[in-house]
Amino acid sequence: MTKTFTRMVAVAATALGLTLTVATPALASADKCKGDAFASCVGVNGKGLHVNWIKSRVALYAKTCRYGHSQVLINGGHYADSNGGRDKDYCSKSIFGAEVTTGTWNVNRNYPRGTKICSKFWWNNGATGPGTVNGYTSFGTACATVG
């Protein structure tokens, strides 16, 4: 009876040890959204400190379209704009809404630990007042941190 219990404890400890050593996340991969019914989203694909690609998206509520563009920032500095910075309609075809890709950039490089990669969708609604910049309203800034 004591041998059986000892074996069970040893097997459980070994299984726990294997689980802890195998479960290492790919540090450069992340997927985040920021906003309410409409949101900016960023996807980062990579492993360790290496980033393969960055994808910007806009999350749309119900069957709607929003005219604008996404901006990608790395550590707060401008990196790229979707569609070359030109606005276009991004539409959800689902009554439940959808995340629509606005741009993908093949990066294929290493970044230092702590690098912030962000995406911000700018909706060109012609509005003025608080929270707008030259007729654009931001849906929020979604960020992923490398490492």
Decide if 4 is inside a domain.
no
Identify the CATH number of the domain in which residue 103 sits. 2.60.40
pLDDT score for 6:
37
Domain range enclosing 94: 25-145
More confident residue, 71 or 2: 71
6: left (phi over 0), alpha (psi -120 to 50) or beta: alpha
In the predicted model, what is the mean pLDDT of the chain?
84
pLDDT score for 131:
82
Res 133 pLDDT > 60: yes
Domain count, the chain: 1
- CA distances to 64, 123, 133, 140 from 126, rounded to whole Å, are 17, 9, 9, 17
Decide if 13 is inside a domain.
no
92: left (phi over 0), alpha (psi -120 to 50) or beta: beta
Decide if 99 is inside a domain.
yes
What global pTM score does this model have?
0.78
Please count the other Cβ atoms lying within 10 Å of the Cβ belonging to residue 100: 20
* Helix, coil or strand: residue 43: strand
Question: Rounded to whole angstroms, how far apart are CA atoms 112 and 49?
Answer: 7
**Mean predicted confidence (pLDDT) in 94-118:** 96
Decide if 68 is inside a domain.
yes
- pLDDT-derived band of residue 11, with 50, 70 and 90 as boundaries? very low
Model pLDDT for residues 20-71, shown as the tens digit of each residue: 333 334 356 889 999 988 999 999 999 999 999 999 999 999 999 999 999 9
Decide if 19 is inside a domain.
no
pLDDT score for 8:
36
Decide if 2 is inside a domain.
no
- CA distances to 52, 81, 83 from 113, rounded to whole Å, are 15, 24, 29
Task: Name which of 88, 124, 125, 93 is nearest 103 in CA terms.
Answer: 88
- pLDDT-derived band of residue 5, with 50, 70 and 90 as boundaries? very low
**Mean predicted confidence (pLDDT) in 114-133:** 93
Decide if 5 is inside a domain.
no
**Mean predicted confidence (pLDDT) in 124-137:** 91
Decide if 88 is inside a domain.
yes
* Helix, coil or strand: residue 5: helix
